[in-house]
């Protein structure tokens, strides 16, 4: 081989090695995607150097959530809609496998919350118009509300034997809106981990699950202020955990100067009063979703007992006077952007033996 040819081959090898080193040393970055699911904007941030992994993961999550939304929506054609039709007959039927695990878990969570989470009251949610993403009002008549409450549909009315299911109360209509989004986020993130994603945050309208961290810093979450569009506090995630907030500002309509929000108290049939927002941190996104709603309804007096029953240690509740209630564990995690009017640190009850055992989603 001539010297000229040798120089060309050597140069080509150097370029090839340099190129390979550049590809192998590509720096990780945050890959961002946005789409609509569960009636809200979903944001997926993945921290990785693998662009193809980020692209595949985003497509997978969107497909997962689209499927879940269609299957679990109570008022659209799909598995849950069909299940409600069959429950209304009172006859036994074979449960659809895409909704059966959710219903079983919803029964456990309803018991743990002393019925404050009661997805069997789907007729009540529809009566208020909250099955729509944009409720218009006006509020229903008290007589219509009481007619549903008198039928007393609860999750205890749903009887499951293996894959067979029936309802002993034909007034039962299942609406898992206060649970399905958390369950869906949990399952979608599990799928991401199976694909090899190690650092990501999946945010659906302010409710989220996060894993890992973007580089040497944690994911930082803003908690919306009930009083305005701004942020009242920030939370930095630690490893694998979910952060869920229920607020009276999320979905509502105005009628004659009064706000009617979508978090209905199953005991009265009306929007729960006395609370503005509840934020919960927990490893299980499905339980965090239910807990934020149930504790909102429980209010300032009863939320510690319900939180203890659910095994939720990190809670922040803001009442309609602007007073902030927190567990000691939550106080360590919250950083306020502006000082609240008053803070009350509330330990959970010690009667842990009464804590309900609720399994994480399979």
79 belongs to a structural domain: no
pLDDT of residue 270: 98
Q: Is 12 annotated as a binding residue?
A: no
Q: Is 293 annotated as a binding residue?
A: yes
pTM above 0.85, yes or no: yes
Q: What's the pLDDT tens digit per position in 193-221? A: 999 999 999 999 889 999 999 999 999 99
Q: What domain range includes position 241?
A: 32-47+198-354
Q: What's the pLDDT tens digit per position in 153-206? A: 999 999 999 999 999 999 999 999 889 999 999 999 999 999 999 999 999 988
Residues 246-274 as b/e (b if ≥16 CB within 10 A, e otherwise) read bbbebbbbeeeeeebbbbbbbeebebbee
Among 1-5, 32-36, 122-126, 314-318, the range scoring the smallest mean pLDDT is 1-5
pLDDT of residue 10: 45
φ/ψ (deg, to 5) at 344? -125, 115
What CA–CA distance (Å, rounded) separates 325 from 341? 11
What CA–CA distance (Å, rounded) separates 199 from 218? 10
182 belongs to a structural domain: no
Give Cβ neighbours of residue 66 (< 8 Å, ≥ 6 apart): 37
Q: What's the pLDDT tens digit per position in 265-291? A: 999 999 999 999 999 999 999 999 999
The number of distinct structural domains making up the chain is 1
Q: In 10 A of CB 353, how many CB atoms?
A: 5
274 belongs to a structural domain: yes
294 belongs to a structural domain: yes
37 belongs to a structural domain: yes
39 belongs to a structural domain: yes
135 belongs to a structural domain: no
Share of the chain above pLDDT 70, in %: 90
pLDDT mean over 15-27 = 50
Classify strands 342-345 and 323-326 as parallel, antiparallel or unpaired.
Answer: parallel
Query: What CATH number corresponds to the domain at position 224?
Result: 3.10.520.10
Give residue 362's pLDDT band: very low, low, confident or very high (50, 70, 90). low
66 belongs to a structural domain: no
Q: Is 178 annotated as a binding residue?
A: yes
User: Which one has a higher pLDDT value, 39 or 348?
Assistant: 348
């Amino acid at each position: 081989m001539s010297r000229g040819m040798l120089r060309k081959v050597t140069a080509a090898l150097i370029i090839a090695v340099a190129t390979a080193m550049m590809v192998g040393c590509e720096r990780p970055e945050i890959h961002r995607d946005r789409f609509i699911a569960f009636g809200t904007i979903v944001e997926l941030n993945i921290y990785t150097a693998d662009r193809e992994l980020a692209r595949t993961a985003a497509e997978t999550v969107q497909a997962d959530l689209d499927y879940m939304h269609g299957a679990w929506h109570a008022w659209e054609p799909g598995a849950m809609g069909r299940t409600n039709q069959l429950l209304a007959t009172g006859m036994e039927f074979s449960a659809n496998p895409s909704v059966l695990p959710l219903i079983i878990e919803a029964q456990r969570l309803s018991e743990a919350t002393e019925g404050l989470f009661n997805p069997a009251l789907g007729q009540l949610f529809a009566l208020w118009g909250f099955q729509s993403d944009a409720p218009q009002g006006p509020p229903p008549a008290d007589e219509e509300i009481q007619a549903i409450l008198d039928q007393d549909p609860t999750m205890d009315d749903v009887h499951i034997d293996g894959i067979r299911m029936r309802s002993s109360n034909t007034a039962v209509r299942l609406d898992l809106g206060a649970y399905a989004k958390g369950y869906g986020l949990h399952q979608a993130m599990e799928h991401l981990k199976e694909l090899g994603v190690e650092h990501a945050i999946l945010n659906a309208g302010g409710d989220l699950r996060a894993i890992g961290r973007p580089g040497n810093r944690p994911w930082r979450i803003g908690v919306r202020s009930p009083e305005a569009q701004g942020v009242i506090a920030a939370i930095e995630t630690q490893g694998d955990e979910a952060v869920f907030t229920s607020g009276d500002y999320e979905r509502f309509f105005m009628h004659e100067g009064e706000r009617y929000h979508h978090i209905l108290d199953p005991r009265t049939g009306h929007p729960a009063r006395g609370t503005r927002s509840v934020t919960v941190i927990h490893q299980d996104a499905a339980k965090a979703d239910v807990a934020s709603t149930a504790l909102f309804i429980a209010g300032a007096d009863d939320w510690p007992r319900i939180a203890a029953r659910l095994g939720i240690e990190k809670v922040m509740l803001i009442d309609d006077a602007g007073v902030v209630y927190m567990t000691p564990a939550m106080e360590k995690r919250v950083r306020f952007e502006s000082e609240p009017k008053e803070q009350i640190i509330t330990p959970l009850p010690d009667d842990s033996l009464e804590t309900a055992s609720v399994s994480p989603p399979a």
